[in-house]
Chains A and B, each alone.
Chain A
C-alpha cells in the first residue's frame, strides 16, 4: 500500500506526515503524534471515548480516515488547556467528581465544550441530550452532569469578571 504525504492541523499546530490511507485519525493521533488523550473504547463506534473536535464539532476519530481530514482544524483534549491553565470544564470535572476512571473524560469534556459554545445556558435535558453519545461506565452520569453545571457557573463568573474589568477600564 502506498503511503501518502499529508498535512494535519491538530491543536493549532501543523504536522506533515507520511501515512497509509487506511489509517484512522484516532491511531494517527495516538501512535504518530503521541496525543494519547483520545481513547479507543469500542470497535463499533458506539462509545465516544475517541471524540475530537473537527472545526469545533465533536466527531469520532475512530471513524475518520486521517487522509480525509487534512483541511480541518482538529482539537483533542490536549489542545484545550490554555497555557497550562485548566479551562472551566476541566476544573469542574475535577471539583465535582466528573472523572472516576477518566477514560471517557476527554470525550465528555470535548462534547460538553461544543454544547456550551453554542448553548451557554443549557437545561439538564439539553446537557443529557448533548452527552448521550458518550458512554461512561463509572459515574452513572450524575456527577458528570453536575460538572457541566459547575463549568457553566465558572464560565459565567469568568464572563462577569471580564465584563466588570471592562467597565472598570
Chain B
C-alpha cells in the first residue's frame, strides 16, 4: 500500500495529537471528570481473605443506612464472564467463594462517598477461610481446596509445543546452556485510576456507560451478558483515557458493578477506584519462571531452544491463556531457530488476576532468551551483536510455528544501534563499573485472530464528507494516549489530499461508531489505519466518479490534492472538495463511505492447539544498547544512555512513534530496575505509587531513538507496531550492560542493588576458590 507522498503529505509529519489542546488546557474529560444530575457514588466491598467460602451475607444494616440507594451482591449477578471465551470464570460479585484479598463481594450506591464507605462497613459476611496458594510451583501440586473446582492442580491451562526436533538440535550443538530466570509481577500503574459512570434508563431499558476502557465493544458485550440485557440496549462511550498499557484492556469489575448499581438504584452511579483498588483489580504482567535451554554451534548458530515456563496467573483466567501462549509462540519470528520446544503452564494462585501488560506475554521470555544468548556469546567469545547476525531470519518466510514474517527491519536496527551507540569502541572496553549491553525484541502488530473467533472484519470505519467539504471519521478505535485518533486523521487526510484541519474524528462510542476490537496487542495503527484508508479510498472513488461523470472526463485524469479535485494529463478541471462532495452526494444528499480491515488468511497461523495466538499480519523489531554505571560498593545502577532502533514499518507521525518507543523503553527499564508488586501471603504490600516506584525524572535517562522504516507491504503506508515492541529488549540490554560493567549476570528481576552486591560477593568467593578465572566469563 506504499504510496508516493508529496512534501506536504501528512504522512511522516510531526504533528501534534488531535486531542493535544484538550489535554494541555484541562478541558478534556476523563471518566472521573464526568457528572450527571442525581449521580450517586458507588463503592465495592472487597474480600479480606485470600481464599474463603462465603457462608452467608447480611446487607440489611447497609440497606437501612440513610443515603444508601442500592446494595448488590453476587446472588443477583451470577452470570459468568471473562475476556476469553475459554475463560469465563468471573462473576461481578463472588457467589460462593472469594479467591484473593480484594475479590469483589458486594457494592453499594449512596449519596456520598462517606455514606457509601460507611455502608460497606455495615455489610456482614460470614467466611469459612480455606487454605490458600500463593506460589505457582506449590499451587501446581495442589490436590485439594482447588481455586476453581474444574481446574485440577490449579492449572488454568498448559501447552506443549514441539516444532522440529529439539533432541536432534541439541545433539548438533557444541554448547548447551540452561538457566532459570525469575521475573516477578509488575503492573501498569497508568496515572488515571479506573473510573466508570453508568446510567440506566428504565423507560426504554437502555444502559449507557462511560468508562476508562481500551475495549469498548468487549465491554458492551460483557455488560449485556452479565446484566442479561439485549446487547443493542447497551451503549459504551470511551472518554479520554489516562493511560492503559493493558490495564484497561479487559472488562474490569467496577465497570459491571457501576452498571448493576445504576440499574438497581434507578440513578446514575459513578465508581472510581482508589489507587489501592487499581492494584487489586491488577491484570498486570504475571510473575514468570522461565527455564530455558539453548544449544548453539561453535560458530554461534542456534540449533535448538527449549523453554519451560510457569506463569503465576492469580485467581482468574483473564487473558491468561493468551499470555502463556504468547510466551511460547513469540520465542519465534525473531531469529531463525530450527527446533523449538515449549512447555507452558498458566497457574492459578490466590492473588489478584494477572493479564495483558505492554509487550503482553513476550517480555519475560524475551529477557530470558536475550540474556541467555548474551551469556552464550560471552562463553564462546563471540561478539553479542555478531551472534545475532548469524541467526537472522530471511523474510519473507514462515516460521516453524506458522508465523508469517514479511517485513523485517531487525538487521538494520542492529546496524544502526551498533553505529550510533559506539558499540565497537565500548563493549568490553569501558573501565570497571561502566558497561554497555545489547539486546533485541519484537512484537505483533495486532493479533491476526480476534479474541472471539469471527469472520467479520476486526476494524471498521465510516466516513462522511459534508457539503462544505469537511470530513468526519467515525471509528470504534480507542484512543488511550497512544495517538490512535491522530494516526487515523493523518492517513485519511493523506489519502484525500486534505489538510489535517479539515478532518474530524468521532471515536469509540458504540452507538455512533462502527465496531473496532479495541486498543490492545498494538493493533490500531495497522488495522484501524487500514480501515480508515479503505474508507477514505471509498469516499475518494465516489467523488472522482461523480466529478468524472458530471464533467465528462476520465476518472484516471482526476486526482485529489491540497483540498481540491484537480485534473491531470491536460485536463484543466479544478473543483473544491465541497463541490465534489455535493456531486457525489447526489440525490441522497449525503456522502458517506466505509472501510474495513481484516487480516489476510495467510497471516492467521497454524492449526495446532494454541496456534491462534502469536500470528500477526506484521511484526515490529527493536534493537537496543544500554549504557550504565554500576557502583560496586552500593550496587546502585545509573543508566547513562539508551540507544534504541525500532522498525515501525513507516513512521506516520515520527514524533508520536518516538514517544511510544521511548515510553516502552522506559517502562522496560522500570521492570528491570525497581518495579515489583510485592506480595506477602497474597496481600500486596506496595499498592500505591509511593511504594510501587515508577521512575521520576531523576532516574530517567536520555533515550535516543532511531526509526527504521521497513515498509511493510500490508501496513497502512507501510506502517506497523510502535507502542510495545521496544519494551522487552531494554531489560536484557540493561543486565548485559551490568555484566559488562562489573562482570555479574543477574537472572532475577528486578535488578536491585542488593542482588548486584550479592552476585559480586559470590563472584569474589568463587574467584578466591579458583584463582585465575577471567572476570568476563
Contacts and interface: CB of A to CB of B under 8 A. Distances in A.
B partners with A: yes
Interface of A: 30-31, 35-47, 49, 76-78, 81, 86, 89-91, 93-106, 109, 127-129, 131-145
A135 B19 CA distance: 21
Contacts of B690: 42, 44-46
A68 B723 CA distance: 44
Contacts of B30: 36, 39, 103
Main secondary structure of the interface of A (DSSP, over half): loop
A39 B191 CA distance: 9
Contacts of B666: 139-142
B697 A105 contact: no
11 contacts: A43-B276, A77-B26, A97-B656, A100-B482, A101-B190, A101-B243, A102-B24, A105-B23, A106-B24, A143-B655, A143-B662
A2 to B, nearest CB: 15
B274 A142 contact: no
Nearest to A106: B26
Given A103-B191, A103-B243, A90 B24 contact: yes
Interface string B652-694: 0001101100110111010000000000000000001111001
A166 to B, nearest CB: 29
B688 A46 contact: yes
Nearest to A37: B26
The CB with the most chain B CB atoms within 10 A, among A35, A97, A105, is that of A97
A96 to B, nearest CB: 7
Interface residues of B, number: 58
B529 to A, nearest CB: 18
A40 B482 contact: no
The CB with the most chain B CB atoms within 10 A, among A133, A137, A145, is that of A137
The CB with the most chain A CB atoms within 10 A, among B29, B191, B694, is that of B191
A134 to B, nearest CB: 8
B22 interface: yes
Cβ-closest 9 pairs across A and B: A37-B26, A101-B481, A140-B666, A102-B23, A103-B242, A77-B26, A36-B33, A94-B20, A90-B24
Interface string B236-249: 00001111110000
B296 interface: no
A89 B20 CA distance: 12
A145 B696 CA distance: 12
Contacts of B272: 40
Nearest to A127: B697
A140 B656 contact: no
A101 B656 contact: no
Contacts of B696: 132-133, 135
A140 B21 contact: no
Contacts of B35: 31
Interface string B9-32: 000000011011111111111101
A130 to B, nearest CB: 8
Contact of B697 (A41, A95, A102, A128): A128
B24 A39 contact: no
A97 B658 contact: yes
A49 B26 contact: no
B33 A132 contact: no
Interface of B: 16-17, 19-30, 32-33, 35, 188-193, 240-245, 272, 274-276, 480-483, 655-656, 658-659, 662-663, 665-667, 669, 688-691, 694, 696-698, 700, 702-703
B722 to A, nearest CB: 12
A95 B29 CA distance: 21
B191 A93 contact: no
Contact of A142 (B23, B241, B243, B703): B703
Nearest to B688: A44
A95 B16 contact: yes
Contacts of A109: 24
Contacts of B700: 128, 140-142
Contacts of A144: 697
A36 B694 contact: no
Nearest to A145: B697
B25 A102 contact: no
A165 to B, nearest CB: 27
Contacts of A142: 662, 666, 700, 702-703
Contact of A143 (B22, B27, B658, B691): B658
A150 to B, nearest CB: 12
B639 to A, nearest CB: 11
A129 B481 CA distance: 25
A47 B731 CA distance: 25
A104 B22 CA distance: 13
A57 B480 CA distance: 31
A99 B703 contact: no
Nearest to A105: B23
A102 B19 contact: yes
A31 B272 CA distance: 13
B24 A137 contact: no
Given A90-B25, A102-B28, A135 B689 contact: yes
Contact of B689 (A44, A95, A96, A138): A44
Contacts of A30: 33
Given A37-B27, A137-B189, A100 B688 contact: no
Contacts of B659: 97, 100, 138-139, 143
A140 B358 CA distance: 14
A99 B274 CA distance: 24
B689 A86 contact: no
A135 B242 CA distance: 13
Given A39-B192, A137-B694, 12 more contacts: A40-B272, A41-B275, A43-B276, A44-B690, A97-B16, A101-B480, A102-B20, A106-B26, A132-B697, A134-B697, A137-B191, A140-B662
A138 B21 CA distance: 17
Given A135-B694, A137-B245, A140-B700, A41 B26 contact: no
Contact of B191 (A76, A81, A136): A136
A135 B32 CA distance: 19
Contacts of B274: 43
A31 B352 CA distance: 31
Given A43-B274, A43-B276, A95-B16, A138 B663 contact: yes
B643 to A, nearest CB: 13
A53 to B, nearest CB: 13
A29 to B, nearest CB: 10
A104 to B, nearest CB: 5
A41 B193 contact: yes
Given A36-B26, A41-B689, A102 B240 contact: yes
A138 B663 CA distance: 5
Nearest to B655: A97
Contacts of B691: 44
Nearest to A128: B697
A46 B275 CA distance: 11
Contacts of A91: 24
B655 to A, nearest CB: 5
B689 A42 contact: yes
A139 B662 contact: yes
A77 B242 CA distance: 16
A109 B25 CA distance: 9
B20 A140 contact: no
Nearest to A107: B191
